[in-house]
Structure 1
């Protein structure tokens, strides 16, 4: 095993920067590190999307879709109630009360 002086190590490190065509990983600018990280995450997401879903994941997707559909329907119903004149809302409430009271 060869023993290098501090000066020699620094020179090798400096030369390797130029030979690698860029900066060493710990010396990369923040933006470049961020872009590389984002690129890796997108690559992982693409690979994950290509994998077939397990039975559990399929069931979870179905439940999420049903829940979203229910939430959208509930939102539409509330918007319709807000748009409805107060007189009509009161009349509908009275109908429900009189039907349940019989």
Structure 2
């Protein structure tokens, strides 16, 4: 049996391109759930394994920078449903924040 030859290392420019297209814009703020600092991926508390997507609360906090088209609240104000505050923001607010960030 022959040994497998290692592949060529990935060029830094390609690594940066891949990282920039796969990074969620919510990583620009710290995560209130796992306490990951800004710029770092969220992790599982028990194993410290990096998660491919940020925690929902991190996305919600990040999306609050945009006004909500669903409940018409101003930026930095939590979403509400019939006057009751919601734990997370509306999906339309997250979509609008992503479009604004792009």
Please say whether Structure 1 and Structure 2 have the same fold, judged by a TM-score greater than 0.5: no
Larger radius of gyration: 1
Higher relative contact order (CA 8 A, sep 6+): 2
TM-score bracket, normalised by the shorter chain, equals under 0.3
Q: Give the helix-richer structure, 1 or 2.
A: 1
